[in-house]
Amino acid sequence: MAIAARYHDGQTAEVHAVGLDYERQGAVGAVIIRDAATRAEMARWTSSDIFAVHGRQGELRLGASGHTDGARLVISGDRDIARIRATLPILAEKRRAETGRQLRLAALATAALASVIVAYLYGVPLLASRIVNLVPIAWERSLGDTVARQMEASLAAEAGFEVCDPDPDSAANRAIARFGAAALAGSGSPFDLDITVVRTDVPNAFALPGGKVYFFSALLERAQTPDEFAGVLAHEIGHVAHRHGMEQLISTAGTGALIGFILGDMTGVSVAAGLGATLIDSRFSRDAERQADRFAADVAKRMDFQPAGLADLLDRVGEDDDFTKAFALLNTHPLTDERRAALVDLTRERPGDVEPPFTLAEWVAIRTMCERHPAGKTKTR
């Protein structure tokens, strides 16, 4: 008995009520599509050409390769569908093959994306250190100025921004500048250092792109020896010499692009993007910290101070200070046991016959440069 179906021939939009018969000639089977009323043959689909396309529940839709693209047979009702499936086992085979193909495609695309991500995680920091050499010096300098302005403005709004000793020719500033120039000498850095000691109660020190270094008074007050102060300062100058600020910026931009790609919103900035980028960047910053430490140790070979003083100072801030205040410092300068051990090792390599970085008078001047002077002596920049 013929199975009732609806037939779209793919050439006109007419719907034909048809009956389906199955005919076998040797090894080749075929579905004969006959008009339901006249029993006239309308088309003949070889069973190996037939495939099922997606249809809703309770409906089977068939197409056939080699026939018009849009030609379809639509069979409704569970009983008739079961009969067709039994007659054409190839439908199930093709379906399995297609599911497998889609699965492989999705798996392949996922694997490709995963390898892009891995390449990115390792490649971006590496690439950033190459690209940074292509960044024009003038551009980095003006970028540093922009960042400095923004930072000063935000500090001024929150904690107050006041340069401790605005006179560049004071004993303290001269000593700091001399130390900076000596530390940077020989590194081949194209930047001129601009070290500013700022009065604020957040203990921190950092370097911006373009050679600007900020040292906050709260951190200076914690320094008990010139070694600690010199260690931190040399470390920050290391960031300048290695252009880490710029490198970090390039790396962050790169990871942001990747996360946007994964989430599919190239236009939106989402929370996950920020979180993910932070996780990736922390990998990068650990390497940068190590490099800056090594730079500080190299400086200590030319001037007599203990680079491990840097670790002592970070430790003290971590222990004493209220967590939220110290957070920024420790976040950018995570002090791990491994890092401390490396610093102590580096300290051992020092020769014994070099000059200390500051004379006692200079150190006293630096220590007191942030103490409140009589009115009129300091001014807000």
Partner 1 sequence: MNGQGQPVAFTGTRRELGAILLRGYLLMVLSIGIYRFWLTTWKRRFYWSNTEIGGEALEYTGNAMQLLLGFLQALAIFIPLYSVFFYLSTQSSTTAVIGYGAIAVGLWFLAGYAIYRARDFRLSRTLWRGIRFDQGGSAWGYAFRRFGWSILMLVTAGLVYPFMAGSLWRYRYANSWYGDRQFGFTGSWKSVAKPYYLAYLLVIASAALALGSAAALGAFKGGFPSARAVLVLLLGAVAVGIIIINYQAREMSRMFSAVRLGAAALAVKVEALGLLGQYVRFGLALAGAYIVLAIGGFVVLNTVAPDAFADGQFQPAVLLAHLRGSAATILALITGYLLIFAAFTLMSELFLGLGYWKLVASGTRVYGLETLASVRARDEDKALVGEGLADALNVGGY
Binding site for partner 1 (CB under 8 A): 6, 8-15, 53-57, 59, 61, 68-72, 74, 102, 105-107, 109-110, 113-114, 117, 139, 142-143, 146, 150, 249-250, 253, 257, 260-268, 271-272, 275, 279, 323-324, 327, 331, 334
User: Whats the size of the chain, residue-wise?
Assistant: 381
Non-local (6+) Cβ contacts of 151 within 8 A are 208, 214
Q: How far is the CB of 200 from partner 1 (least distance, A)?
A: 19
Q: How far is the CB of 361 from partner 1 (least distance, A)?
A: 40
Closer of 53 and 360 to partner 1 (Cβ): 53
Q: How far is the CB of 378 from partner 1 (least distance, A)?
A: 28
Among 251, 267, 173, 175, which Cα is nearest to 209's?
251
Type and span of the H or E element at 6:
strand 3-8
95 and 54 Cβ atoms separated by less than 8 Å: no
Token digits of residue 85: 């499936």
Angstrom distance (rounded) from CA 273 to CA 218: 33
Closer of 13 and 360 to partner 1 (Cβ): 13
Orientation angle between helical segments 360-368 and 226-241, nearest 10 degrees: 80
Q: How far is the CB of 8 from partner 1 (least distance, A)?
A: 3
Among 161, 130, 343, 155, which Cα is nearest to 243's?
130
Query: 60 has which bridge partners?
Result: 75
Closer of 265 and 345 to partner 1 (Cβ): 265
Q: How far is the CB of 235 from partner 1 (least distance, A)?
A: 20
Closer of 256 and 356 to partner 1 (Cβ): 256
Angstrom distance (rounded) from CA 130 to CA 120: 14
Q: How far is the CB of 134 from partner 1 (least distance, A)?
A: 13
Q: How far is the CB of 165 from partner 1 (least distance, A)?
A: 28
Phi, psi dihedral angles at 358 (to 5 degrees) = -135, 145
Order of strands across the sheet that contains 212-216:
194-198, 212-216, 205-207
Among 293, 320, 301, which Cα is nearest to 224's?
320
Q: How many CB atoms lie within 10 A of CB 352?
A: 5
Angstrom distance (rounded) from CA 37 to CA 18: 8
Q: How far is the CB of 282 from partner 1 (least distance, A)?
A: 8
Q: How far is the CB of 49 from partner 1 (least distance, A)?
A: 16
Query: 46 has which bridge partners?
Result: 30
Angstrom distance (rounded) from CA 98 to CA 345: 62
Chain centroid to CA 87: 56
3-state secondary structure of 116: helix
